[in-house]
């Protein structure tokens, strides 16, 4: 065994990646979550990414924990400390360790291959043997092996065991025997590491004070919470990765906040549809009837829902669709992330259709934009697409605590009530009384004067069936006016200008944000200065077009093969498309700054003027 | 072409308890073919709603695509209607119903809409025991696309040109029974005296109430080779159970006690009186209902009436413990946990 310090290149405090390779279904998730939470509790900013297969048991899975003292939000794409718990992937895992890094493995069985790299230190800890000696049944031994590596990592990096203990206590509550067993396993690893590797690794965890006022939460949970705070009462869904946890979250929050303790009555209704077509149909039915309604899904679900989306667009029914994007096409990579449904959602359904899209970049925005989505759906009486993705939706992100303004009142849009209907002569559903493209609607059962017929077939401003060309055009022309108006109501872009003057910029969207911000720093260090605009809504706000026109060259950074954001920018603004340069990452992994820096540098090198 | 209002003349017509005449329950002019069975169903719905004295705006009309689905515009113009996408009416009805159970949901569908493109949604609305009246206007044929067989066409029934259907038909009543519907009826559009009481009873039934109405297509399926023609249906239709609906307003006295009718009080008010025309048929016996429908006695008999009734199953609202106040009328304050709750909740994420 090599001396640990000998191969280490440098001491890195709170700035390295701990990557754990596991077998899916072995209960490693809670151990890995425990490690990340403990680091977070020590005040060290973390980025956690779960790379999991579309499988219940047996396939390889990885969990990355990046300690980032500078509070970056993206993956780094490196692995300084690998915990290799899956023999199937040993070779790959060893290859992935950064030079000067470390690999911890279960040395119950000899693994000379893992010592093959000169520049990587392999650390054997007999996890299985120790657990087999202490624990009884097979399942417990497997689970406790995970806890044992938590202890070993703590012993090697200086992770505070008291913090871990506090978390274990919270995790198991009153189940004293589980606390005891888990702590016993953690101590097995800890003691072994301290005894056999008394010199600490150069990869260190040290307490900081950089996580106060922050939480660790995933975007689906935060969006679900947004649905609760928006006052959504109806949700329909068909289970699909990676959106499922959004409805799980909504259900659990509603069980907590919306059940009458005396009567057991529930102030919400969740229906698991027979498919996505039914799910969106239900949400549309509830929206038509005046409730705030939504359906969470992913790309394949949007494909199935398309006919109904056109109906809600043309019939002008409010509904919110959460598209937690995953890699396509077709079934694609169900457990990998992408931003590949942008053009699909923007123009979903046959015929001339244009939709309103919102792009959150992190769980905090998921919470806030979920609320905005319902306001926009009712104000504009149309489907709203909340465009999140697997990376935002399913990974825990460190974000500032969510806040709520108790003075908020939902924007229910133009709905005529009983008294207003009583007072008017005649009600016409699609009469543009205010000239803003948004007409008044009524709810069933309120007043006979408010009755109208919602249809997907040709209709005139009165709501009557028509095949008359002029009457048909009048309605569809108003719809596009209404859509354009939404540009002033969707969340505006976030613009970050660099200190030095520049004619170049980045435009990006959603979960690429963290990687772009880190890439800007890296590029700046190379002398490449760029401004940055993050799009948050579609149709594009006027600021987006103005930003593009003030730059000679704009790198459009996004996670899909075809440059879909670029397509929308070209299609919906007057920008000269030649100045929009795509920088794309569609490998299915959470974005890291590398592809951005490399993509931009390669382009500049080509031009021969890399600053 | 635009939709045409009907001329409105209601002088001297009798009024119901709300002071409305039957004309107040009508919609715009039908654009279906003259003699279409569907127009008779429309008339029966108007009559039933008027007789029950229900406020026209208390109905919510839902439909999909097809000749049948168009008819929701032809009755109760003073109530909201939604004419959605093909075969997906049940889902829209489910969402609408979930957030306001106080309305009377009337779904109008056809054999193409419910038994082909929308077969899945039809089945799952039944499984959820959605509280609604679900009418299938069944003519065995696609009308708007000019005469293709539908999934309810009998084996051997022919097109106008004489081509026989060779695929097994789907019987919506058998399907509804096996899927757990609590109210399953079959009727014939040509017999209003049978249909009106069934519609009234179905509206008062708390749960999924399906009426499969054989409603001949005069243009594409009313010829000698068809088993869904007027002539064929008149000849072979056979009421198993005679149904009367008596609203509580006209509460019965002892004098009817000996008429041999089975009496069922409905959850939403009113009483059903079922008189068997076949002495051994019991509309409470699901197995017998399925068996009766499945027996092919060679005569092609079309068995009609209230085939099955079970009032004791919780509907979707009960199963989901939905509140007395409809979800769409809850004040925002009742739905929003507030700032303090959010702060407290986030402790678990620290």
Secondary structure, 3-state, A39-68? HHHCCCCEEEEEECCCCCCCCEEEEEEEEE
pLDDT at B144 over 90: no
Whole-angstrom Cα Rg for chain B: 21
Domain boundary among A472, A488, A504: A488
User: In chain B, what residues touch A263 (CB-CB under 8 Å)?
Assistant: 323
Closest alpha carbon to A368 in A405, A411, A343: A405
Q: Please tell me which residue of chain B has the smallest CA distance to A459.
A: B2
At residue A341 the predicted structure's pLDDT band, cuts being 50, 70 and 90, is: very high
Instruction: Compare B278 and A445 and report the one with higher pLDDT.
Output: A445
Does one domain contain both A81 and A45? yes
Number of structural domains found in chain A = 4
Q: Measured between alpha carbons, how far is B250 from B211 in angstroms, rounded to an integer?
A: 25
CB contact under 8 A, A291 and B99: yes
Q: Please tell me which residue of chain A has the smallest CA distance to B124.
A: A274
pLDDT at B253 over 50: no
CATH value at residue A282: 3.40.50.970
Please give the distance of CA B51 from its chain centroid, rounded to a whole number.
17
At residue A164 the predicted structure's pLDDT band, cuts being 50, 70 and 90, is: very high
State residue B251's pLDDT score. 47
State residue A1's pLDDT score. 43
pLDDT at A428 over 90: yes
Query: What is the arithmetic mean of pLDDT over A197-210?
Result: 94
Lowest mean pLDDT among A54-68, B153-167, B255-269, B324-338: B255-269
Does one domain contain both A319 and A358? yes
Domain boundary among A468, A488, A508: A488
Instruction: Compare A31 and A56 and report the one with higher pLDDT.
Output: A31
User: Residue A492, exposed/middle/buried by CB under 10 A (0-12, 13-18, 19+)?
Assistant: middle
B241 in helix, strand or coil? strand
A383 in helix, strand or coil? strand
B98, B118, B129, B342, best to mutate vs chain A, most A CBs in 10 Å: B98
Is B92 in the A-facing interface, judged by CB distances under 8 Å?
A: yes
Is ipTM beyond 0.85? yes
Q: Which of B88, B102, B342 minimises the CB distance to A445?
A: B102
Domain boundary among A454, A488, A522: A488
CB contact under 8 A, A465 and B123: no
pLDDT digits (tens, 9 = 90+) for A517-541: 999 999 999 999 999 999 999 999 9
Q: In what order do the strands lie in the sheet with B262-265?
A: B241-246, B271-276, B262-265
Q: Which of A284, A291, A311 minimises the CB distance to B328?
A: A291
Half-sphere exposure of A85 (CA within 13 A, CB side): 34
State residue B295's pLDDT score. 81
Stretch (H or E) spanning A31: helix A28-41
The residue with tokens 């068997």 is B276
- The token pair at A440 is 């008044």
Inside any domain, residue A395: yes
B91, B105, B321, B340, best to mutate vs chain A, most A CBs in 10 Å: B91
pLDDT digits (tens, 9 = 90+) for A213-245: 999 999 999 999 999 999 999 999 999 999 999
A281, A319, A441, A446, best to mutate vs chain B, most B CBs in 10 Å: A281
A175 in helix, strand or coil? coil
Segments making up each domain of chain B, as ranges: 22-329
Please give the distance of CA A223 from its chain centroid, rounded to a whole number.
9
Domain that holds residue A554: 494-607
Does one domain contain both A108 and A194? yes
Q: In what order do the strands lie in the sheet with A504-509?
A: A494-496, A531-535, A504-509, A553-558, A580-584
B124: left (phi over 0), alpha (psi -120 to 50) or beta: alpha
CB contact under 8 A, B350 and A311: no
Q: Measured between alpha carbons, how far is B136 from B193 in angstroms, rounded to an integer?
A: 18
Is B253 in the A-facing interface, judged by CB distances under 8 Å?
A: no
Residues 20-59 of B with CB under 8 A from A: 28, 55-58
What are the angstrom distances between the C-alpha of A305 and each of A235, A282, A320, A325, B218? 15, 11, 12, 15, 35
Stretch (H or E) spanning B37: helix B37-52
State residue B269's pLDDT score. 76
User: In chain B, what residues touch A446 (CB-CB under 8 Å)?
Assistant: 57
Query: What is the arithmetic mean of pLDDT over A263-290?
Result: 98
DSSP B133: E
State residue B249's pLDDT score. 45
User: Residue B168, exposed/middle/buried by CB under 10 A (0-12, 13-18, 19+)?
Assistant: exposed
At residue B255 the predicted structure's pLDDT band, cuts being 50, 70 and 90, is: very low
Does one domain contain both A58 and A163? yes
Inside any domain, residue A511: yes
pLDDT digits (tens, 9 = 90+) for B5-58: 777 676 789 999 999 999 999 999 999 999 999 999 999 999 999 999 999 999
A505 in helix, strand or coil? strand
User: In chain B, what residues touch A283 (CB-CB under 8 Å)?
Assistant: 95
State residue B12's pLDDT score. 85
Does one domain contain both A479 and A508? no
Does one domain contain both A284 and A304? yes
Closest alpha carbon to A554 in A517, A507, A510: A507
State residue B260's pLDDT score. 64
Inside any domain, residue A411: no
Instruction: Compare A491 and B143 and report the one with higher pLDDT.
Output: A491
- The token pair at B134 is 């679900």
- The token pair at B157 is 């029934």
State residue B118's pLDDT score. 97
Does one domain contain both A374 and A433? no
Query: What is the arithmetic mean of pLDDT over B153-159?
Result: 92
Q: Measured between alpha carbons, how far is A444 from A429 in angstroms, rounded to an integer?
A: 13
CB contact under 8 A, B338 and A404: yes
Tell me, which fold does domain B22-329 have in CATH? Rossmann fold (3.40.50)
Other CB atoms within 10 Å distance of the CB of residue A576: 12
State residue A611's pLDDT score. 46
Residues 170-199 of B with CB under 8 A from A: none
Lowest mean pLDDT among A11-25, A592-606, B268-282, B306-320: B268-282
User: In chain B, what residues touch A402 (CB-CB under 8 Å)?
Assistant: 342, 346
pLDDT digits (tens, 9 = 90+) for B71-85: 999 999 999 999 999
Stretch (H or E) spanning B208: strand B208-214
- Torsion angles phi and psi, residue A447, rounded to 5: -160, 140
What are the angstrom distances between the C-alpha of A91 and each of A21, A85, A112? 11, 12, 12
A37, A278, A454, best to mutate vs chain B, most B CBs in 10 Å: A278
At residue A609 the predicted structure's pLDDT band, cuts being 50, 70 and 90, is: low
């Amino acid at each position: 065994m090599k001396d640990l310090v000998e191969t280490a290149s440098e001491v890195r405090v709170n700035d390295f990646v701990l990557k754990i390779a596991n077998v899916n279904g072995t209960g490693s998730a809670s151990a890995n979550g425990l490690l990340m939470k403990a680091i977070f509790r020590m005040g060290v900013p973390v980025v956690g990414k779960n790379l999991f297969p579309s499988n219940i048991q047996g396939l390889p899975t990885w969990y990355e924990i990046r300690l980032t003292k500078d509070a970056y939000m993206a993956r780094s794409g490196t692995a300084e400390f690998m915990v290799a718990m899956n023999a199937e992937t040993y070779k790959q895992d060893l290859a992935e360790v950064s030079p000067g890094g470390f690999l911890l493995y279960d040395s119950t069985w000899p693994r000379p291959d893992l010592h093959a790299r000169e520049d990587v230190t392999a650390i054997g800890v007999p996890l299985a043997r120790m657990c087999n000696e202490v624990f009884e049944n097979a399942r417990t031994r497997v689970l406790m092996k995970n806890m044992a590596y938590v202890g070993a990592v703590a012993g090697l990096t200086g992770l505070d065991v008291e913090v871990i203990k506090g978390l274990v206590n919270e995790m198991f509550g009153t189940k004293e025997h589980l606390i005891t067993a888990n702590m016993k396993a953690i101590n097995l690893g800890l003691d072994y590491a301290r005894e056999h590797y008394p010199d600490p690794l150069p990869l260190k965890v040290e307490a900081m004070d950089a996580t106060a006022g922050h939480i660790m939460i995933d975007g689906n949970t935060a969006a679900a919470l947004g649905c609760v705070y928006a006052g959504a009462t109806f949700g329909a869904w068909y289970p699909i990765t990676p959106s499922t946890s959004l409805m799980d979250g909504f259900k659990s929050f509603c069980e907590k906040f919306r059940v009458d303790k005396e009567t057991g009555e529930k102030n919400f209704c969740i229906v698991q549809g027979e498919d996505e077509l039914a799910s969106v149909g239900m949400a549309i039915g509830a929206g038509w009837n005046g409730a705030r309604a939504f359906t969470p899904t992913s790309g394949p679900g949007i494909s199935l829902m398309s006919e109904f989306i056109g109906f809600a667009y043309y019939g002008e029914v409010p509904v919110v669709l959460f598209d937690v994007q995953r890699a396509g096409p077709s079934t694609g990579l169900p457990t990998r992330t992408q931003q590949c449904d942008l053009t699909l959602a923007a123009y979903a359904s046959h015929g001339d259709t244009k939709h309103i899209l919102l792009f959150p970049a992190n769980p905090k925005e998921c919470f806030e934009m979920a609320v905005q989505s319902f306001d926009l759906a009712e104000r504009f009486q149309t489907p709203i697409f909340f465009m999140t993705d697997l990376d935002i939706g399913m990974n825990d992100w460190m974000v500032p605590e969510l806040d709520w303004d108790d003075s908020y009142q939902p924007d229910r849009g133009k709905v005529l009530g009983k008294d207003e209907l009583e007072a008017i002569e005649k009600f016409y559903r699609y009469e543009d009384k205010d000239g803003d493209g948004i007409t008044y609607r009524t709810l069933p059962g309120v007043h006979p004067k408010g009755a109208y017929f919602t249809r997907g077939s040709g209709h005139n401003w009165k709501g009557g069936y028509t095949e008359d060309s002029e009457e048909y055009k009048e309605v569809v022309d108003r719809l596009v006016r209404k859509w354009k108006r939404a540009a002033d109501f969707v969340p505006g872009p976030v613009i970050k200008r660099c200190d030095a003057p520049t004619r170049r910029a980045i435009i990006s969207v959603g979960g690429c944000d963290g990687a772009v911000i880190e890439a800007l720093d890296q590029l700046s260090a190379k002398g490449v200065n760029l401004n940055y605009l993050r799009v948050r809504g579609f149709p594009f706000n006027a600021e987006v077009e103005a930003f593009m026109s003030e730059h000679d060259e704009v790198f459009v950074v996004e996670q899909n093969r075809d440059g879909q954001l670029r397509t929308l920018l070209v299609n919906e603004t007057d920008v000269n498309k030649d100045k929009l340069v795509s920088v794309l990452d569609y490998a299915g992994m959470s974005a890291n700054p590398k592809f951005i820096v490399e993509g931009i540098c390669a382009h500049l090198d080509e031009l021969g003027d890399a600053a | 072409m635009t939709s045409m209002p009907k001329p409105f003349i209601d002088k001297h017509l009798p009024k119901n308890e709300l002071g409305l005449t039957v004309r107040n329950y009508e919609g715009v002019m039908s654009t279906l073919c003259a003699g279409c069975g569907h127009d008779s169903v429309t008339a029966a719905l108007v009559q039933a709603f008027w007789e029950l004295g229900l406020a026209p705006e208390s109905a919510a009309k839902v439909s999909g695509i097809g000749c049948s689905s168009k008819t929701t515009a032809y009755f109760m113009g003073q109530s909201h209607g939604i004419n959605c996408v093909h075969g997906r009416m049940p889902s829209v009805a489910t969402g609408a119903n979930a957030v306001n159970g106080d309305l009377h949901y009337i779904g109008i569908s056809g054999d193409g809409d419910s038994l082909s493109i929308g077969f899945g949604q039809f089945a799952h609305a039944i499984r959820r025991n959605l509280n609604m009246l679900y009418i299938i206007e069944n003519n065995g044929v696609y009308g708007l696309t000019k005469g293709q067989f539908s999934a309810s066409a009998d084996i051997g029934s022919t097109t106008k040109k004489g081509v026989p259907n060779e695929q097994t038909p789907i019987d919506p009543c058998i399907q509804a029974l096996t899927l757990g519907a609590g109210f399953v009826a079959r009727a014939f559009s040509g017999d209003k005296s049978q249909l009106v009481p069934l519609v009234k009873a179905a509206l008062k039934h708390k749960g999924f109430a399906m009426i499969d109405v054989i409603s001949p297509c005069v243009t594409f399926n009313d010829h000698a080779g068809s088993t869904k023609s007027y002539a064929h249906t008149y000849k072979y239709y056979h009421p198993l159970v005679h149904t009367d609906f008596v609203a509580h307003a006209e509460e019965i006295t002892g004098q009817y006690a000996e008429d041999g009718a089975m009496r069922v009080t409905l959850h939403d008010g009113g009483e059903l009186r079922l008189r068997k025309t076949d002495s051994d048929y019991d509309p409470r016996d699901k197995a017998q209902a399925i068996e009766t429908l499945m027996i092919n006695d060679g005569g092609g008999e079309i068995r009609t009436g209230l085939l099955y009734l079970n009032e004791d199953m919780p509907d979707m609202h009960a199963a989901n413990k939905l509140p007395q106040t409809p979800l769409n009328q809850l004040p925002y304050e009742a739905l929003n946990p507030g700032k303090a709750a959010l702060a407290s909740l986030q402790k678990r994420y620290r």
